């Protein structure tokens, strides 16, 4: 069954526009005519219809996403199969990805980047608490709305500790530019693997480039395993530099304990940086107008004497003017 615009799926979802297409599936923006809201539909490509291995992957994604109810995770509404094609009905997120923002802006100020990283860490902590490892944390899978709200998407290669493993031992799963050293070696991913990938995302956002490059994905993955992470620029806050580098430790045991520690630590750094920015702006404020008038308060007795002197001076001046007029006459 080939999917086309205007087609009604499951007697309630109207396909409006194809958003993306990959080797395994395609993603559509659709409209739920029963509830009157837009949705996103991820479906197996028609030429993959009946492919049991690909269907199993969609089932795993549905299973792993089903219980992850959190503001920073794109919600799964429904999963069903028809004519050998699986359909994931998901929350439609009308936002740019963090990859889009990096492409447009390059490096971001820490006070703008940190809220994105904090929300992503919170979403990952909820997934990890349910035994789900994302395994493909990268900017393209982090959606950021205009108001700054973050949604983690695409649990397509996620792993759950509560289900049977469908990938073979030694199989490398993830994206080379953001893959953890243990994943690159074909080892089982853990919550610390997602933390490493988020560390790469943070590094890229702070520097404008990733820590490792290479001619091929294999070269890049090997660099994550073998090469030391290049230091972050010294212009970046010291504590922030140190913490991001701890997220990028080769040994998972040297990384932060969990994603909740990541979110809380980054939140403390963000508050401190915002306080510093506020203090700096107050210290450097200059009144662009004229110099303020000096106001002096004098004791009551002095003010009385001054008024008396002023009155006496006025009387003398008036008397002198009268005398001058009489002489002239």
Catalytic residues: 136
* Residue pair 97/139 in contact by the 8 Å Cβ criterion: yes
Query: Distance between CA 313 and CA 320 in Å, rounded?
Result: 11
Phi, psi of 198 (to 5 degrees): -65, -30
* Residue pair 73/52 in contact by the 8 Å Cβ criterion: no
Query: Distance between CA 190 and CA 137 in Å, rounded?
Result: 12
Q: In 3D, which of 2, 62, 51 has the Cα closest to residue 26? A: 2
Give the chain's length. 329
* Residue pair 64/153 in contact by the 8 Å Cβ criterion: no
Which helix (H) or strand (E) segment holds residue 231: the answer is: none
Q: In 3D, which of 202, 193, 151 has the Cα closest to residue 172? A: 193
Query: Distance between CA 140 and CA 259 in Å, rounded?
Result: 19
Name the one residue in this structure whose structure tokens are 């702070």.
Answer: 206
Question: Given its phi and psi angles, is residue 190 left (phi above 0), alpha (psi -120 to 50 degrees) or beta?
Answer: beta
Three-state DSSP at 17 gives strand
Three-state DSSP at 64 gives helix
């Amino acid at each position: 069954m080939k999917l086309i615009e205007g087609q009604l799926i499951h007697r309630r979802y109207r396909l409006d526009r194809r958003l993306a297409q990959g080797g395994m599936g395609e993603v559509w923006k659709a409209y739920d005519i029963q509830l009157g809201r837009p949705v996103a539909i991820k479906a197996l490509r028609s030429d993959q219809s009946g492919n049991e291995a690909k269907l199993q992957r969609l089932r795993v994604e549905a299973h792993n996403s089903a219980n992850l109810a959190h503001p920073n995770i794109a919600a799964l509404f429904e999963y069903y199969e028809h004519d050998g094609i699986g359909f994931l009905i998901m929350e439609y997120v009308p936002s740019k990805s963090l990859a889009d923002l990096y492409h447009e802006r390059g490096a971001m100020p820490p006070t703008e980047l940190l809220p994105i990283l904090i929300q992503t860490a919170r979403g990952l902590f909820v997934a990890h608490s349910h035994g789900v490892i994302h395994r493909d944390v990268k900017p393209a899978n982090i959606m950021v709305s205009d108001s700054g709200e973050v949604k983690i998407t695409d649990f397509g290669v996620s792993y759950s500790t509560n289900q049977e493993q469908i990938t073979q031992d030694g199989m490398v799963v993830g994206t080379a530019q953001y893959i953890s050293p243990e994943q690159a070696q074909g080892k089982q991913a853990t919550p610390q693997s997602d933390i490493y990938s988020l560390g790469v995302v943070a590094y890229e956002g702070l520097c404008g480039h990733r820590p490792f490059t290479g001619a091929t994905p294999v070269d890049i993955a090997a660099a994550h395993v073998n090469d030391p992470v290049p230091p972050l620029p010294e212009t970046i806050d010291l504590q922030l530099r140190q913490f991001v580098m701890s997220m990028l430790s080769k040994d998972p045991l040297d990384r932060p304990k969990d994603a909740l520690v990541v979110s809380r630590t980054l939140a403390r750094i963000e508050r401190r940086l915002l306080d510093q920015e506020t203090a700096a702006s107050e210290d450097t404020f200059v009144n662009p107008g004229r110099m303020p008038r000096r106001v002096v308060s004098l004791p009551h007795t002095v003010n009385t004497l001054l008024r008396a002197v002023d009155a006496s001076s006025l009387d003398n001046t008036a008397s002198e003017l009268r005398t001058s007029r009489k002489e002239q006459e």
